[in-house]
Amino acid sequence: MSGRRAGTGPGPAAAGGAGPVTPAAGDPRAVDWRALVAELEEQERRLRLPRFGNDDAWRLGCLIAELAQARGAAVTIGIRRAGQLLFHRALPGTSADNDAWLDRKCRVVDRYAAASYLVGARFRAKGTTFEASSRLDPDRYAAHGGAFPLHIRDVGVVGTVAVSGLPQAEDHALVVEALERFLAELPGATGHPAPPTGAA
């Protein structure tokens, strides 16, 4: 696990270009929060799904686990839809504390229908913090990066995919990278319906 408490602090962006704009030293004052909000909102517009079933949850969860294991990242992964836990995996080096972080970040997505990182960044862009201005219990809600909405086109947000164990920008970047790969392999993900079985 990272030397930082799981899921806390702005943290550096993950390598590979998937991470959002963040300060190299992890100082919130160094972030252009408006630029970060715009980037995170663009990710949410782009990473929308044509559908999301139980088997999709298994494939996406396994993909996140494979990416994390390849990097030696100790993370816990959770995927939920309509209140049902469809996938959960805790890699070596994680603890029950990571599950608590997943719950708190997912509640933010459920309430705001936006990524937990984006919600926190929107408060920062207004010159305040989620903890100071949301009027929500910080023991139950955490606007830290790592939980991302499962948004089905023409339907809306139906669930969350979440990671805990890395600095928040890296948690978020891992989920975004996995969703990008998942969508690239998913029939119908380009915005056109998948052809019926047996179609030429």
Give the 3-state DSSP-derived string for 45-101, with helices as H, strands as E and coil as C. HHCCECCCCHHHHHHHHHHHHHHHHHCCCCCEEEEEECCEEEEEEECCCCCHHHHHH
Cβ neighbours of 80 (radius 10 Å): 23
Q: What mean pLDDT comes out for the span 166-186?
A: 96
Mean pLDDT across 157-186: 97
User: In this predicted model, what pLDDT tens digit does every residue of 55-81 receive, in sequence order?
Assistant: 999 999 999 999 999 999 999 999 999
| CA–CA separation, 76 and 95 (whole Å) | 8
Q: What is the pLDDT of residue 13?
A: 38
pLDDT band, residue 30 (cuts 50/70/90): confident
Q: Is 7 exposed, middle or buried (0-12, 13-18, 19+ CB in 10 A)?
A: buried
Residue 192: Cβ within 10 Å count: 9
Question: What is the average pLDDT across 118-131?
Answer: 97
pLDDT beyond 50 at 182: yes
Q: Which residues contact 55 (CB under 8 A, 6 or more apart)?
A: none
pLDDT classification of 96: cutoffs 50, 70, 90: very high
Looking at this protein, which amino acid is placed at residue 73? Answer: A
Q: Distance between CA 149 and CA 162 in Å, rounded?
A: 9
| Token reading at 16 | 């590979």
Question: Phi, psi (5° rounding) for residue 100?
Answer: -65, -40
Give the whole-angstrom CA distance, residue 79 versus residue 71.
Answer: 21
The answer to whether 119 touches 108, Cβ cutoff 8 Å, is: yes
